[in-house]
Chain A
């Protein structure tokens, strides 16, 4: 089905199942431990051998010699895979560094060997016996030191640089100016489930049970790396224990499991050990961002400029922190620029809202600073510079844009009017209290997505698509879509996901999974409805599907009967025209945060949070809310604690486990409130929905930062905002 013109009324608009806060249909499987994750397909692969990954001890250089004699002699060892004996390997289209290093080493903890043994313990013990001689080479590990060698590189969606009008002239002439530099650190996805895979070969055909967000990408990159036809690769990933972008790509667990299984002649399972993950896999790259804003005294932005420097392995991408600045606020004179320098740290890549999450961390502090300079309320300043058209391409309106409405609703609900704009004036015992706000913004992406739908003679509707559920609720919203379309109760829908033998979906990433995968299911259901109508001789445009029946005029036929003995199957997908070219499709929100800062120790604790989101039709308010409050939690982490600390001498992330890479715990997140504004977006798809899961993180950290400023009067421009950055400027006590 091609989606080329704005959606009109369709069966989804009935909202009998769609739009309801339905519990996750996969919930019982998870709470009873019966959902099978990448490492846990015990029934499918009852007797695997175990692989343990050895990571490089240096960041850059080469392996001079590898002594495996002791490993080979160790109890239970079945195979050892190294670049030396793995045969010729290619590199996945979406990998920057090779997944099996050697003799060349590209980054710390790059996998250099897999030891396969009968038990996990034997594999781990034997892996400790691998002896490697390295020749170290000089590397670049310090972004600030190499940033000026950076070159323009395009973003995930858009060119490296953009410009409109005369930025420098307008900025120089502006009566009120801000010119500030912000930094964000490298961050880790730190999802609960590590990257994990089980590989089994049947002849030259490979089956990989794995944990991956994008099944079709994975099939392609596994095939390319191994040099085998795509048809010979099957990926199965029905449940994913968190990914946040870290599992968009095939990683070393999958490749090494495949190579290990081939070498051992037996299925092999591999999970990346946690301390390896932080340097072995991908991370959100650090940024340095310079923002310049010029405005008239009454608060109209006349010039806005945003420059980003980030680093990556040669061939990698920039973070893309300037992307939202191209769209968020009005201003006739503008520029953005992206520079990427070469670094020899692990590969930087997508993490929840790549680009905007980092960019909003900086931009939304800058806006707060500018509002203060102007003496204008930060919400009013944003509203003053709101725009209904793409500021760089004025011919393109936004499909829907309720940024102002989000701020108005949020201000009301949060009690913004009670905020004291003077910093450091509100006390509650040992705490100095502050309130901050920030806009939320993330683009809505259209990605084609297909599904297969079958109706059985007992009126069960089975949906199959290679879409993944990474904890987001895909199973549930897909079931809701099929139930709505086919007029059956939810219990009559079976959803099967994450298998490369199913039609190719959008996959999960870029907050595009929800809208696109359900739109694909919608398309397949439309086709199935037509097949049913045709079989019954109904006019398909008039046929009504409700209560387990098909009705037309005064005829009605139970679906079970319509299906007949053999059942009926339809397959189709959604493909998009140029509605996202004609209209800018984005999602919007407003974050509100109250923090307390301990007057003596400068410890920062969030006291309450609110997010107001306008993001198209909300297919399931319960799962959508979970996405947003989870993203808010991650935003608090980004604001206050998350940082991969670079050892600039040896070239690696030092705090590479979950004790040292801190993410928020329950005690850090006391009260979260969130509301969705009513919205349907007919430009996005027949579902009229958009993404929410990444919108929720964009801007949160800046809202926290602005609240900390309001509490203390200390402006911290380098994340994370830890107490040592406040301490010197806190008032004297005791």
Chain B
């Protein structure tokens, strides 16, 4: 770990402005991802801006009847919130499927969205990795790639985004509220927050340098059966091989997003038109451009079968 300076920001705008003054600065929220990466010198910020004091830890009802979730609301509190459990069950379930109780107590809403990949080569600084060291190559391609992406990947990087929460938020059409260094605010649709790797896998989001997430908004509830199904090798405390976030209405229409298959939560709205026809048809369209490796090709069948089980459960 490199040494760093540390500051506690007082307002969101001040945090963003401070971050923009130092290109080597990073925000720190729960620290459950960033600190691990700093210890391994995968992240080497020279300045940390602690955002925990920013009073962004409330969950409020919006005028449109949705929810505004402060960027610093802890995963545990978000999962337990009565409104979330009642109206956005898929989100509560996704959160509880992630990490462990201790981690969820620390992990924040913004930190969770921005957590970095779990690709094992990304974690080993001796190995080539375009995401960690642009231009050094991708050790996962041709290496151990069982966990990796099957869709939307590139020749530069086949990493997945590991979040469960983000997959549910994608199905819920969440919006990401931010403040920029100049004080301007905007809302980024979650579909546009995470980027595909392309040939710049180290640039993971569309956030500008210094841009701070202040909240995540959820549109008003859409009802339906809300299911989050996470498939993994052990029963708990493991990242998804494949996960499915689904909102299914009585007539069989609805929304689905997949986790564990791409560099971002994977949803193609057009594929949802196939939902009444069943999982095979939906998966065919969702995974149409899949380019799996030999080791992770099973994820295609797994995604389809899991989706099938979820749709059956929604009907049942």
Could you tell me which A residues sit within 8 Å of B by CB distance? 57-58, 121, 124-125, 128, 275, 430, 598-603, 605, 640-641, 645, 647, 649-650, 654-657, 659-660, 662, 664-668, 722-724, 727-728, 730, 733-734
Q: Is the CB of A655 within 8 A of B236?
A: no
Closest residue to B315 on the A side, CB-wise?
A734
Question: In whole angstroms, how far apart are the Cα atoms of A124 and B41 in the complex?
Answer: 10
Across the interface, which residues of A come within 8 angstroms of B307, CB to CB? 734
In whole Å, how far is B115's beta carbon from the nearest beta carbon of chain A? 12
Complex partner residue of B236 from A58, A598, A667, CB under 8 angstroms: A667
Q: When the two chains form their complex, are residues A647 and B302 in contact, meaning their CB atoms are under 8 A apart? A: no
Question: Which of A603, A656, A666 has a CB less than 8 Å from the CB of B124?
Answer: A656
Known: A128-B41, A728-B301. A603 touches B231 (CB 8 A): yes
Residue among A600, A647, A656, A733 with the highest chain B CB neighbour number at 10 A: A600
Contact, CB under 8 Å: A641 / B233: yes
Residues of B within 8 A of A655 (CB): 120, 144
Instruction: Report A-chain residues with C-beta under 8 Å of the C-beta of B234.
Output: 640-641, 662, 664-665, 667-668
List 5 A–B pairs whose Cβ atoms lie within 8 Å, in order of A's numbering.
A600-B309, A723-B231, A723-B233, A727-B302, A734-B279
Contact status B233-A650, CB under 8 Å? no
B127 adjacent to chain A (CB < 8 Å): yes
Cα of A556 to Cα of B143 in the assembled complex, Å: 76
Q: A728 to B143, alpha carbons, bound, how many Å? A: 23
Let me know if A601 and B302 touch, CB within 8 A.
yes
Q: Which residues in chain B, 9-55, are within 8 Å of chain A measured between CB atoms?
A: 39-41
Measured CA separation A734–B308 after assembly (Å): 5
> B64-108 toward A: CB 8 Å interface, digit per residue (1/0)?
000000000000000000000000000000000000000000000
B237 within 8 A of A: yes
Nearest chain A residue, comparing its CB with the CB of B237: A665
Q: Which residues of A contact B142 (CB under 8 A)?
A: 649
Q: Give chain B residues whose Cβ lies under 8 Å from the Cβ of A659.
A: 118, 239
B232 sits at the interface (CB 8 A): yes
Residues of B contacting A121 with CB < 8 Å? 1
A660→B118 CA distance, assembly (Å): 9
CB pair A645–B305 under 8 Å, yes or no, is no
Contact between A665 and B124, CB atoms less than 8 A apart: no
Q: A660-B120, A727-B301 known; A650 and B139 CB under 8 Å?
A: yes
B interface majority secondary structure: loop
Contacting pair B120 A723 (CB below 8 A): no
Instruction: Flag if A724 contacts B298 (CB, 8 Å).
Output: yes
Q: How far is the CB of B184 from chain A (nearest CB, A)?
A: 37
* Structural contact, A733 and B40, CB atoms closer than 8 A: no
Interface residues of B in 141-177 (CB under 8 A from A): 142-144, 146
Please state if A723 and B241 are interface contacts (CB–CB under 8 Å): yes
> CB distance A654 to B121 under 8 Å?
yes
Interfacial chain B residues near A275, Cβ < 8 Å: 40, 123-124
**A701 smallest CB distance to B (angstroms):** 15
CA distance A599 to B301 in the complex (A): 13
| Complex Cα spacing A121 to B309, Å | 49
Query: In this assembly, does B270 line the interface, its C-beta being within 8 Å of a C-beta of chain A?
Result: no
Asked if A430 and B309 make an inter-chain contact with CB atoms under 8 angstroms apart, the answer reads yes
A contact residues around B2 at 8 Å (CB):
125, 128
CB-based closest 4 A-B pairs: A734-B308, A600-B309, A667-B235, A57-B126
- Give the distance in Å from the alpha carbon of A733 to the alpha carbon of B40 in the complex: 44
Chain A contacts for B39, CB-based, 8 A: 124
Inter-chain CA distance A728–B235, complex, in Å, is 21
CB distance from B87 to the nearest CB of A (A): 27
Partner of B278, one of A430, A722, A734: A734
B-side contacts of A728, CB under 8 Å:
298, 301
CB distance from A639 to the nearest CB of B (A): 12
CB <8 Å contact, A654 and B308: no
The listed residue (B233, B278, B306) touching A662 by CB distance below 8 A is B233
- B143, B233, B237: the one contacting A640 at CB < 8 Å is B233
Q: How far apart are the CA atoms of A728 and B299 in the complex, in Å?
A: 11
